[in-house]
Amino acid sequence: MIVWSLAFVLTCGMVGLVYLPYRSAKVLGPARRSNTGHDKTLMEADVEHALRLWYCATCGGHFERLDQDLCSHCGASIGDGGGL
């Protein structure tokens, strides 16, 4: 009897795990957004990421824009060696 009960519980659990998410599906993550909005958000995240992970080789200061030629902290020319 215990074994039958366990088999029943296992079957119900399996069916529930497959069927209930199907019934109560909600859109998760990026799919909720429109394609344009999604791309824009991704691009902004990319730029933020780049600014956070790259830095001046002379003073270690972070950049504020991707297109800057001088470090805003020490004034080193980024296009001219920058202390590499």
Partner 1 sequence: MTMALLGRYALLLASLAAGYTVGVGWWTNRTHSVSLRESVRGAAVAVALAMTAAVLILEYLFVTGDYSVQAVYNHTDRALPILYKMGALWGGDSGSVLFWGWILSLYTAFVAWRGWPREGQMTPMVVPLLGALLVFFTGMSNLVVDPFRLVPGNPTNGNGLDPLLQNLVMTIHPPAMYMGLIGMAVPAAYILSAVWTKVPSREWVPVVRRWMLFAWLFLSVAIVLGGMWAYMELGWGGYWEWDPVENASLLPWLMATAFLHSIQIEEKRGMFRWWTAFLGVGTFLLTLVGTYITRSGVLKNSVHSFAGTGVGPYFVTLFWITLAVSGFVFIQRRDTLHDRMTLDSTLSKEGIYLLLNAFLTAIAAVVLFGTFYPIISKAFLGTSIVLTVYFFNSMTAPMFMGLIVLMGVAPVVGWRSAKWQTIAKKLWKSWGMGLLVGGLAYLHGYHSLLQFLGVTLAVFSLTSMAQEFYRAARLKHVATKAGWFRSLGEAVVTNRRRYGGYLAHMAFLIIVLGVVGSHTNNLSITRTMIPGQTLSVGGYQIQYQGLKGATHPGYQMTDAQFVVKQGRTTFTAAPGLSFFPGSAQPVATVAIRGGLMKDLYMVLEGSPGHNQAIVQIFVNPMVAWIWIGTYILAFATLLAMGAPMGGDAAPVRNWEFNPTERTPRRRMMPAEGSDRA
> Which spans of this chain sit near partner 1 (rule: CB under 8 A)?
3-4, 6-7, 10-11, 13-14, 17-31, 46-47, 49-50, 52-57, 60, 63, 66, 69, 78-79, 81-82, 84
Closest separation in Å from C-beta 50 to partner 1: 4
Closest separation in Å from C-beta 72 to partner 1: 13
- What is the CA 56 to chain-centroid distance, rounded? 24
Element (H, E) at 53: helix 35-53
Per DSSP, the three-state class of 74 is coil
Shortest CA distance to 70 belongs to which of 59, 60, 78? Answer: 78
Closest separation in Å from C-beta 34 to partner 1: 14
